Structure 1
Amino acid sequence: MVTSPVPVILQVSKCFVKPSSCSNPAVNLCHLTPWDVAMLSTHYIQKGLLFPNRPSTLSIESIIDRLKSSLSVALCYFYPLAGRLKTERVLDDNNKVRSLRVLIDCKSQGAEFIHAVARDVTVVDVLAPLEDVPSFVRSLFPFNGAISHDGHSLPLLAIQLTELSDGLFVACCFNHVVGDGISYWHFLNAWAEIARAKECGFTISRPPVHDRWFVEGESPPINLPYSDPEEYIERHSPPPLREKFFHFPSLSIAQLKAKANMECDTDTISSFQALCSLVWRSITRARGLLANQKTSCRLAIQGRARLRPPLSPNYFGNSIYAVAATTTAGELMAHGLGWAALLVHQSVKSHTDNTIRELVKKYHEEPFVYPLSGFDKYSVMMGSSPRFDMYECDFGWGRAAAVRSGTSNKFDGKVSSYPGWEGGGSVDLEICLLPEHMALLEADEEFMAAVSP
């Protein structure tokens, strides 16, 4: 087999963008919640948008100037992204380090903006229809391999604009301590809204809410039970994986939902829960697990609307947990789609206000940092969400053609979900698996019957 040469992606320039002179809250330090602190060893969030419709009337210089100026305004609203992490050491009576406190220093050091060029890369090269995600896509993103703790020295936000031969790719690298996927897309859409606005003094339609939420009776900051950051820092590198996108049209999703509810004689199973069930069963089958092997389908779900009273949908920070439906591989294979979907549904339904408050209370008693290496290799992790507003993120050049991700937070069994480009309830799944298991998934009849050709 002839291997195509890896395209060259050259960095042209790099600079820092600071908040503009617009007024913002006089906040010096931002305290963190358990949801934030627990993310210190996870990678930065890396997502990017592929634009095939670069206006011929605009020079690259004018595009870059507009992106930088609008980013400067956006950072006034989302001011933690212009800061850096800061660790304070708490001493005991013997002047020894007893614990560590991590905060965001909001002194507006700035976000990084990179301009790169990939003259030999086309939009179709990035899309790679019916193929694995090309390895060069990772070079379209900054900070590959960086974990959130690196935000002590690295910017908490980095943007890379890459010129392709026939389009543009805008990549955003966003520290996970600062926020989750909802916060990520909230920021990106607000920045795009500012970029395409024509009048000065523009006010965004959804200003972020920065008031951090804490469990009743507890006060920030959180004391991590370590004397040195090296005790919790982990730089996880997964084995070689295949990464591939699968498209599920709205008709397939509707059929999965109908089948799952019919098999369980209910109408409570959602479209996404039915899709998760299909993925869980299919990957478990591809892995050929022993019948008594425990396996879980984990879903990263947000808590904003589940709390009572609910958090604002514009809450800027983290508010996620991974809930799990668990059984044995034998039981999962012996039952149908609906049985598995009902397990997933029950795990989501049980994540109530009381559950969240108990988890937060327990965290204050025993703080920890999530290790990426701790993920169960027999399970599936569903991340991101088809509900995120990705394709309305318009910088003034029209709609994106695709969403792609970098190397961050990927491991065997990680599945990231995105809205399908055509909308209507369609879903794209980016699946990461060991090569031998991906080959079997591609041959799985039940799974591929739901995938659009």
Structure 2
Amino acid sequence: MATSPPPMIVQVSKCLVKPSSCPNPAVNICHLTHWDLPLLSLNYIQKGLLFSNLPSAFSIESIIDRLMSSLSVALCHFYPLAGRLKTERVLDNNGKISGLQVSIDCKSQGAEFIYAIAPDVTISDVLAPSDDIPSFLQSFFPFNGAINHDGHTLPLLAIQLTKLSDGIFLACCFNHVVGDGTSYWHFFNAWAEIARSTKEGDFTISRPPVHDRWFIEEENPPIKLPFSDPEEYIERPNPPPLREKIFHFSSQSIAQLKAKANKECNTDVISSFQALSALIWRSVTRARCLPPDQKTSCLLSIQYRARLQPQLSPDYFGNSMSAAVASATVGELMAHGLGWAASLVHQSVTLHTDTAIREFVRKYHQKPVVYRLSGLKNSSLMIGSSPRFDMYGCDFGWGKAVALRSGIADKFGGKVTSYPGQEGGGSVDIEVCLLPESMASLEVDEEFMACVSPSQ
């Protein structure tokens, strides 16, 4: 009888890490806002850092001990991540359920820490610079398939350290209801700062999080979702088979794109990332072979901290973001050049003023909703994350990461994730998820590939 091959990834241990004995905040319940609640049916954020050839002085045992002890301290500062979600049913005067209120129960239930090994996997296997992202990478992330609502029973934060044959992969799975990408990387960098600190017992971090949840008016009560049961809004994504690939854009290539877009529009207001987003939108739309009268949209994730008046603190810990939406027909997008598409993206971003944001909040309080990925059309493109996030600044004392990767969270045909390039200087890495036939067309798209740079 033939035996099956051993699994590539083997889980060695799993435990809960709770906040250390630092002073606990006088907060038991953290109410969710109009930016948090819509995300209940989406996936956790999954991002990870790849480190190569650690110095021999760092044994895997010492790395695990340091990660767990520093995580315990980090959870003192970012205490919502150690909690669990809590839903309360609101009753009307007749005793019938009139809605649901969801909050974070901050009782230090703990975050999950997993140690796994992949002895036959190498750094080069993970990088695969000219190939698709390898499917085994999904096993480096915990909570695959979990949606944010699952934070009622699952930890709101899970860490997995996977030891490879010549390096390690450190993955962080973070409930999106607790915070956005800005908050995610704020936490990741603060944890790294604590881990590399040589001051024993010092709980100080350079950027303490601001936990006061932002409401349009202080007198607003906690938001009540218009459902009687969570099953009415829960949706579990089931995407078709996809191809995922990383494309690298050098700072020079992006500068040329920006100059071209602004020149075509006779302006200087189009940003580098807006020009890059326009290139991706046009190229992916062309690769999909959509009919000319089909409407297509480019959704660009933008954060609101600096757009509000007065501004929110850049260290606000929570969600403060939405999507700027540029739309056109396929025929219009193909008939015009890069600059025309970039101007649409730019205009969609500028619409998100303080006044517009506050109007959205007022409307959400009147009619709360929970987003569903199934609501996105097959002609849409969603560009998430940001090359402005300090991803490579996560220095745990082992040196700079050699690459960033993400898990399967919220992946669908048309999902694009942006990262800073490893070499810095304004370079950008773009992770594209498409149906196989669309990816094959993108790989030979002349306009797109002429701007792609060799991987560093």
TM superposition score normalised by structure 1: 0.98
Aligned to 1:426: 427
CA distance in 2, matches of 1:59, 1:217: 50
CA distance in 1, matches of 2:305, 2:58: 40
- 1:327-346 aligned at under 5 Å gives the runs 327-346=328-347
CA distance in 2, matches of 1:373, 1:57: 49
CA displacement 1:393-437 (0-9 Å, x = unmatched): 011100000000001011110000000000111000000000000
Aligned to 2:68: 68
Deviation at 1:24, TM superposition (A): 3.0
Aligned to 1:362: 363
Partner SS state of residue 36, structure 2: helix
CA distance in 2, matches of 1:331, 1:189: 43
Is the contact made by 2:247 and 2:452 (CA closer than 8 Å) also made in structure 1? yes
CA distance in 1, matches of 2:352, 2:53: 42
The answer on 1:250 being equivalent to 2:243 is no
Aligned to 1:325: 326
CA displacement 1:165-224 (0-9 Å, x = unmatched): 000000000000000000000000000000000012141100000000001265231100
The answer on 1:197 being equivalent to 2:187 is no
Aligned to 1:316: 317
- 1:151-300 aligned at under 5 Å gives the runs 151-200=151-200, 201-216=202-217, 218-300=219-301
Q: Output the aligned Cα RMSD.
A: 1.0
- 1:5-44 aligned at under 5 Å gives the runs 8-44=8-44
Deviation at 1:6, TM superposition (A): 9.2
Partner SS state of residue 297, structure 2: strand
Is the contact made by 2:73 and 2:203 (CA closer than 8 Å) also made in structure 1? no
Is the contact made by 1:7 and 1:121 (CA closer than 8 Å) also made in structure 2? no
What letter matches 2:336 in structure 1? H
Identity of aligned residues (%): 74
CA distance in 2, matches of 1:53, 1:178: 34
Deviation at 1:94, TM superposition (A): 2.2
CA displacement 1:262-320 (0-9 Å, x = unmatched): 00000000000000000000011111111111111110100000000010000000011
CA distance in 1, matches of 2:68, 2:196: 12
Deviation at 1:95, TM superposition (A): 1.5
Deviation at 1:92, TM superposition (A): 1.6
Aligned to 1:91: 91
What letter matches 2:244 in structure 1? E
What letter matches 1:443 in structure 2? V
CA distance in 1, matches of 2:8, 2:58: 24
CA displacement 1:375-407 (0-9 Å, x = unmatched): 121011110000000001011100000000001
Is the contact made by 1:281 and 1:333 (CA closer than 8 Å) also made in structure 2? yes
Aligned to 2:106: 106
CA distance in 1, matches of 2:31, 2:53: 41
Is the contact made by 1:88 and 1:102 (CA closer than 8 Å) also made in structure 2? yes
Aligned to 1:440: 441
Q: Which runs of 5+ in 1 are unaligned?
A: none
Partner SS state of residue 104, structure 1: strand
TM superposition score normalised by structure 2: 0.97
Partner SS state of residue 35, structure 2: helix
Aligned to 1:348: 349
Is the contact made by 1:53 and 1:398 (CA closer than 8 Å) also made in structure 2? no
CA distance in 2, matches of 1:270, 1:220: 39
Aligned to 2:379: 378
Deviation at 1:93, TM superposition (A): 2.1
CA distance in 2, matches of 1:219, 1:253: 44
Q: Which runs of 5+ in 2 are unaligned?
A: none
Partner SS state of residue 38, structure 1: helix
Aligned to 1:82: 82
Select between 304-313 and 23-32 the one with higher mean Cα deviation. Answer: 23-32
Deviation at 1:337, TM superposition (A): 0.3
Partner SS state of residue 423, structure 2: coil
CA distance in 1, matches of 2:238, 2:396: 34
CA distance in 2, matches of 1:284, 1:110: 44
Partner SS state of residue 121, structure 2: coil
- Distance verdict in 2 for CA 1:312–1:217, change over 3 Å: closer
Is the contact made by 2:11 and 2:114 (CA closer than 8 Å) also made in structure 1? yes
Aligned to 1:141: 141
